[in-house]
């Protein structure tokens, strides 16, 4: 018998929300050298015309992932404090710099 936990990727905490799983999957797909728009993640979380309603969930998931060190939130190409940013932002994997 399969459980939801069995379907998750290895090294992914069980408490990851659907939005967090989508963000991490998209970020891994493009790699650490690139960033993605939260709109891209929202359109996967809520396909169709309702994707805008998923933006707050995507933002919350991104903040949590950034606080855990699994994601970086960028504004104008620079990492920002996940608890103190406004405006247009992008998401990416931590870079080995």
Q: If DSSP codes are grouped into helix, strand and coil, which group holds residue 58?
A: helix
Residue 6: its pLDDT value, please? 39
Residue 16: its pLDDT value, please? 87
CA–CA dist 84, 75 (Å, integer) = 11
Rounded (to 5) percent helix, strand, coil in the chain: 45, 10, 45
Residue ranges of domains in the chain, CATH in brackets? 14-87 (1.10.10.10)
Residue 4: its pLDDT value, please? 38
CA–CA dist 22, 16 (Å, integer) = 10
Burial class (CB in 10 A: 0-12, 13-18, 19+), 4: exposed
Report mean pLDDT in 10-residue bins for the chain, 97 residues.
40 74 97 96 95 97 97 97 96 87
Residue 20: its pLDDT value, please? 97
Q: What are phi and psi of 92, to 5 degrees?
A: -155, 165
């Amino acid at each position: 018998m399969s459980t939801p936990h069995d379907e998750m990727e290895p090294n992914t905490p069980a408490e990851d929300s659907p939005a967090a799983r989508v963000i991490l999957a998209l970020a891994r797909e493009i790699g650490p050298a690139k960033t993605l728009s939260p709109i891209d993640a929202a359109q996967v979380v809520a396909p169709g015309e309702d994707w805008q309603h998923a933006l707050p969930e995507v933002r919350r998931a991104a903040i949590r992932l950034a606080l855990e060190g699994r994601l970086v939130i960028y504004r104008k190409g620079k990492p920002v404090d996940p608890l103190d940013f406004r405006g247009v932002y992008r998401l990416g994997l931590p870079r080995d710099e």
